[in-house]
Amino acid sequence: MVSRNIFIEKVIRTPVEEQKIELVERKGLGHPDSLADGIADSVSRELCKVYKRSFGIPMHHNTDQVEIVGGRANPVFGGGEVIDPIYILLSGRATTRVGKETIPVHEIAINAAREYLKKTVRNLDAENDVVIESKIGQGSTDLTDVFKRSTDIPMANDTSFGVGHAPFSDVETLCLKTEKLMNSDDFKKKFPESGEDIKVMGLREDGNITLTIADAMVSRYIPDMDHYISVKEEMAGEIKDLASKITERDVDIMINTADDYKRGSVYLTVTGTSAEMGDDGSVGRGNRINGLITPSRYMSMEAAAGKNPINHVGKIYNLLSTKIANNIASSVDGVKEVYIRILSQIGSPIDHPKAASVQLILDDSTSFEAVKPKVESIVDIHLAEIKEITEAVINGELCSF
């Protein structure tokens, strides 16, 4: 068997949980940057499904260029209106023609984007409050050629790397689960006032955690200032309860800290997203592949959303690295932290990277030589099964942001 270039090392470093300061951010589903990511991925998934139905396999595409230009709105207690619509530009490249058959890429993309908005932002009129335009072009000839070279294991379309780490710290888990709680159906039924544009910023100072949360509150459900204040307090209580199940550390919850009650200035929106009022969004400016922004960890700058899940290593290797890291952290005793970095080389099979690097932080009682073979086996198995990532993405089982 040809070597997969797996490199494993023990590193001596203070684990994140033991460092004095930790910062973590999560941009919620309705944040303009996350909306751009979600739209890009939804367009890619829909194209994959259409290609498979028509031709048996997904064709070359990368729909990772989405720009959201904020509109203009007038939110007021108990109501408000969108004055100028949000503008969304879909760009990137796709296979628009196979033989004599033309694929209606623009129609597919616009429909996918609009359906994603309907599903994601409850109070947005995706027909009238949004203008969507597609400028997706024909794919690059050289990259299309790389895409076609193998009928079994795809060839990497770029020289790029992906990273992953595990396990999550308390703050990472708390930031991710707080946003998921606040954007859950149950939470929205209890608090319809809460919009989908939620940003959670976590700070740990030694044993104390502060969550600063921005929530684009929906004006139609809030009749007055007293109601607004009471809802914020109730939501903070729900999040405090969640935090008690995740960490034993003290957690302070602060929501919409820019509010000035004396001046009557609070965070209100008509639709639940700040994109309605001048806040713009782009693919790749938000969460990394694991759903977080983590300056205390290794991160890739890759804008993964919308990139094809067949041979675009910028997407596949980030997803795979995270999956491998979680597997190692959960199944190998003595691993305090694990960091994965996988590097591709354009034109080479994606299951044989140029380098698959594993860095382990072990507890004092664990022998590196004892765990190394198991770790290497885990990495090797995941690389051999790399095509499972593709199917999981197409089926909506894996998220890029």
Single residue among 265, 282, 299 that ends a domain in this structure: 282
Is residue 371 domain-resident?
A: yes
Is residue 141 domain-resident?
A: yes
**Rounded Cα gap, residues 125 and 182, in angstroms:** 21
Is residue 400 domain-resident?
A: no
Domain range for 253: 170-282
CATH number at residue 378: 3.30.300.280
CATH number at residue 270: 3.30.300.340
- Could you report the per-residue pLDDT of 95-145, keeping only the tens digit for each? 998 888 899 999 999 999 999 999 999 999 999 999 999 999 986 544 455
**Residues with Cβ within 8 Å of residue 14, at least 6 apart in sequence:** none
Together in a domain, 309 and 385 = yes
Distances (CA, A) of 255 to 198, 202, 218: 10, 12, 14
Amino acid at 249: R
**Rounded Cα gap, residues 171 and 178, in angstroms:** 10
For residue 143, what pLDDT is reported?
Answer: 47
Together in a domain, 298 and 264 = no
**Residues with Cβ within 8 Å of residue 394, at least 6 apart in sequence:** 45, 48, 49, 52, 58, 309
For residue 144, what pLDDT is reported?
Answer: 55
Together in a domain, 177 and 132 = no
Q: How many residues does the chain have?
A: 401
The closest of 2, 29, 313, 361 to 197, measured between CA atoms, is: 29
For residue 140, what pLDDT is reported?
Answer: 52
Single residue among 148, 180, 209 that ends a domain in this structure: 148
Rg (CA), the chain: 22
Q: Phi/psi at 219 (nearest 5 deg)?
A: -65, -35
Together in a domain, 162 and 306 = yes
Torsion of CA 132, 135, 140, 146, to 10 degrees: 20
Is residue 176 domain-resident?
A: yes
The answer to whether residues 109 and 91 touch, using CB atoms and an 8 Å cutoff, is no
Residue segments in the chain with a per-residue pLDDT below the cut of 50? 1, 141-143
Is residue 341 domain-resident?
A: yes
Together in a domain, 163 and 306 = yes
Together in a domain, 338 and 273 = no
Together in a domain, 163 and 188 = no
Pair type for strands 335-343 and 97-98: unpaired
Domains of the chain: total: 3
Together in a domain, 163 and 312 = yes
Together in a domain, 263 and 297 = no
Together in a domain, 268 and 339 = no
Together in a domain, 131 and 162 = no
Is residue 153 domain-resident?
A: no
Is residue 401 domain-resident?
A: no
Is residue 186 domain-resident?
A: yes
